A = this chain, B = another copy of it.
């Protein structure tokens, strides 16, 4: 920071985003985590799948860049967006599959990676196709660069964070039942949770507000609807401003 007025030409800066959404698993039909990947159309790692992203433009914030990537690849707005980590080690372009040995293509890239939660809808499927494809997060093909590692870390972070922070709302509509909220947790954590205990803890967290209404038309006792509290405090620097 102190003396940073020039930079070595060969270090470039990119922003990538790990985008999570919930959809039914094609085999088990159980709801699981999915994420969109982009097929690389040039060396290195041409043809392999990679995280969506791009170089940081000089007129956009880091988080804005991640948002733009999200919009470009899925057509969606982020329900939740947080910086994951900055990956910049020298060896990160050379992992595993060295396809191109042309050193000019092996430029040093520092990637600032964000992770996002979205609600997939019709629009998302429309953007699909082209070079974008959605995959089950825990059943990914080999990815370009160190992106497998990055996705693993993002999954760890998501699974840790959902247990102590109300981020599940990013996967849900404004109003939802406790069963729906629990289903999100179960899908992310890949476990079954005791409905009674989950209910008690969710209500104790003080982040849920009962709407007073109930969901009608079910073949059983109608469940109460909730919405999330307006201002859940966060701790990342960006959001503290």
Interface centre among A12, A60, A87 (most CB of B within 10 A): A12
CB pair A112 B88 closer than 8 Å: yes
The answer on a CB contact under 8 Å between B1 and A56 is no
Interface size class of A (residues with CB under 8 A): 35 or more
**C-alpha gap A235/B155 in the complex (Å):** 12
Question: Contacts of A4 on B, CB cut-off 8 Å?
Answer: 12-14, 53-55, 107, 109, 111
Q: Are B2 and A52 in contact (CB under 8 A)?
A: yes
Give CA–CA (A50, B156) in the complex, Å.
Answer: 34
Q: Is A225 at the interface (CB under 8 A from chain B)?
A: no
Q: Quick one: which of A1-22 are within 8 Å of B by CB?
A: 1-8, 10-16
Distance in Å: Cβ of A64 to nearest Cβ of chain B: 9
Instruction: Out of B52, B55, B86, B145, name the residue touching A6 (CB < 8 Å).
Output: B55
Q: Tell me the bound Cα distance from A15 to B2 in angstroms.
A: 9
A2 to B1, CA, bound (A): 26
A13-B13, A235-B156 known; A1-B109 Cβ under 8 A: yes
* A145 cross-chain contacts in B, Cβ below 8 A: 1
Q: Is the CB of A62 within 8 A of B83?
A: no
CA distance in complex: A120, B147 (Å): 38
Contacts beyond the supplied A4-B55, A8-B55: 16 A-B pairs with Cβ under 8 Å: A1-B16, A1-B54, A1-B111, A1-B145, A2-B16, A2-B52, A3-B14, A4-B12, A5-B12, A7-B11, A8-B58, A13-B13, A56-B110, A59-B90, A62-B86, A86-B112
What residues of chain A have their CB less than 8 Å away from a CB belonging to chain B?
Answer: 1-8, 10-16, 38, 40, 50-63, 83, 85-90, 105, 107-112, 145, 147, 149-150, 153, 156, 235-238, 240
